[in-house]
Chain A
């Protein structure tokens, strides 16, 4: 049997210390050992029963329940004041075979894998690499669990790829304590797994497009995500370039996404006519405190996998003195006017090295991000055509109302089909400021006040936007979700009500969902 340890607590915090948030009880469940239960599927089904036992226990106590993974979200989306469950030890992976697929399956079965919720992006990438495969995209690092990624819409900068949820094929959810409460959900328009295979997971199959795309970015509100079936692709290499170019050229590319006819060309990345190739990834870094006419951009191009390739890892990585980061925070809080000077001094740590070229697999390019102290990030999704206007607006606001201890970056992501996916624009520009977390003083406004001003500025300038579900914002801002998603917010709620009993809707609702009016 899978075993659960518990700890009574008064509060819980995220990895980046964006809390603390209240909590009574923290569970962690470990799988039965391989020696006692050698078959993966037996261990997978066994731990599902244990999760159902915990759900029943929580229900009997009249409390709420929320699963979480690596705690990378920077707000209270992953927290619950009553009971929380750490998923990280639930990390089974299974390949899907041709015989496991639905008769109408359109995917190459070799590319399909089932990953249990607690697998991190790094673990998944390594499992896939052992099979000659790769994820299609990841976030900027690799520590998030797969369930956490899709629940909050984690994205990279895949211009033509999309976010992590966009390569999910099906979801295995635990929506209550009863036998019929284990379900496997996939779109009716694109079934992948056979009923016979789904039955081996003791799951009831639901094929429904509206329900699937609502649950895909489910904000933790669609039950316990036990397993995720994803579509991988054959392993590939990425060549990464860091260049310094005119801001006007960088934003022209952001606006048009026309890399073919741009005046900015990387000589090694052109077609037979000397026109620029379309990159896999495009990112612009903007130091809003600098008057320079140039900015740093990062471009990555997809290449066929071939060995050997230059080692993408440095031999030695140095960390900043933690005391130096705390000093930065203290200076920011008490002498905010020093922030632009400090940002300039730390640019070598904050920004990538110009003219750097790296080649590696996706999992090597987007590698570990060691913990470096309390951090914040505010991230808005906007139409790519609005990126320059939004950057000018938010940059000015940050200078006028701050300065704030962070710098901006813009990434560009293909549209998602998820009902509440924040990458909802045809090409979404994710404009983000991140940096060290500070406390409000007489001299510097709070993060909440800063977030509120950004929302107001975008609204006042008629720039449609969304906000990254896992980042900092003024989530209590009146009418925020309806402003961002219009009818889709109601559609999401309707689908949730269709799947979960009223009791389970309560059990899987937390303060975050209540604050934004989705529960």
Chain B
């Protein structure tokens, strides 16, 4: 029982400490707003695009590039901030597939269109 408790604590500790976010944010520019959004996090009032997927990387591929296109959620087609999140599950998936499958969890907000 004592060992089980220790194991649970260890798993929780690994899960928490392996989850982190890195956010890149422009000094200049304004995030595209979204008055219809009701978020309650760092992105409150902003038009956020969230990408939560698993990608397969070929053995011959070194990296991949995600293209940001003009859309309602990204009217300027220019980035204002990007958040990349690493999770314990993502790390585990990467390890057990020897890097062939990668969890991608990204949030980004585009620049507000200037006039």
Q: Which residues of A contact B (CB under 8 A)?
A: 5, 7, 13, 15, 17, 26, 28, 31, 34, 40, 43, 70-71, 86, 88-89, 91-93, 116, 120, 122-123, 126-127, 313, 319, 322, 367, 370-371
Counting CB contacts under 8 A, is B67 at the interface?
Answer: no
Contact of A28 among B30, B35, B42, B45 (CB under 8 A): B35
B33 within 8 A of A: yes
Which residue of chain B has the shortest Cβ distance to A47 in the bound complex? B115
Given contacts A88-B33, A93-B115, contact A126 B28 (CB under 8 A): yes
Say yes or no: is B100 at the interface (Cβ < 8 Å to chain A): no
Bound-complex Cα distance A28 to B34 (A):
9
Which of B29, B38, B115 counts the most A-chain CB atoms under 10 A from its CB? Answer: B115
Find chain B residues with CB under 8 A from A126 CB. Answer: 28-29
Q: Is the CB of B36 within 8 A of A123?
A: no
Given contacts A26-B35, A86-B35, A88-B35, whether A43 and B115 have CB atoms under 8 Å apart is: yes
In the complex, 15 of the A-B residue pairs with CB atoms within 8 angstroms, ordered by the A residue number, are: A13-B38, A15-B45, A26-B35, A28-B35, A31-B115, A70-B33, A86-B35, A88-B112, A91-B114, A91-B115, A92-B115, A93-B115, A123-B112, A126-B29, A313-B27
Judge if B63 is at the interface, Cβ distance under 8 Å: no
- Cross-interface CB contact of B41 among A70, A120, A322, cutoff 8 Å: A322
Q: Is the CB of B44 within 8 A of A319?
A: no
Residues of A within 8 A of B44 (CB): 15, 371
Name the residue in A28, A31, A371 with the highest tally of chain B Cβ atoms < 10 Å from its Cβ: A371
Chain A residues, CB < 8 A from B114: 91, 123, 127
A40 touches B42 (CB 8 A): no
Instruction: Report how far A123 CA is from B115 CA in the complex, Å.
Output: 10
* Cross-chain contact of A7 among B27, B36, B40 (Cβ < 8 A): B36
Contact of B45 among A31, A71, A91, A122 (CB under 8 A): A71
The 4 closest A-B pairs by CB, nearest first: A86-B35, A92-B115, A371-B44, A88-B33
Interface residue ranges, B against A (CB under 8 Å): 27-30, 33, 35-36, 38, 40-45, 112-115
Give the distance to chain A from B62, nearest Cβ to Cβ, in Å. 27
B-side contacts of A70, CB under 8 Å: 33, 45
In the complex, the answer to whether A116 meets B41 with C-beta atoms within 8 Å is no
Q: Are the CB atoms of A28 and B115 closer together than 8 Å?
A: no
Q: Which residue on B lies nearest to A373, using beta carbons? A: B40
- If A31-B115, A88-B33 are given as contacts, then 16 extra A-B residue pairs at C-beta distance below 8 Å, sorted by A number, are A17-B40, A34-B115, A40-B115, A70-B45, A71-B45, A86-B33, A91-B113, A93-B115, A120-B30, A123-B112, A123-B114, A126-B28, A126-B29, A127-B114, A313-B27, A322-B41
Which residues of A lie under 8 Å from residue B30 when comparing CB positions? 120, 122-123
Min CB–CB distance B70 → chain A (angstroms): 11
What is the CA–CA distance of A26 and B114 in the complex, to the nearest angstrom? 23
What is the minimal beta-carbon distance from B40 to any residue of chain A, in angstroms? 8
CA distance A214 to B112 in the complex (A): 32
Specify which of B27, B30, B42 lies most central, judged by the most chain A CB atoms within 10 Å of its CB. B30
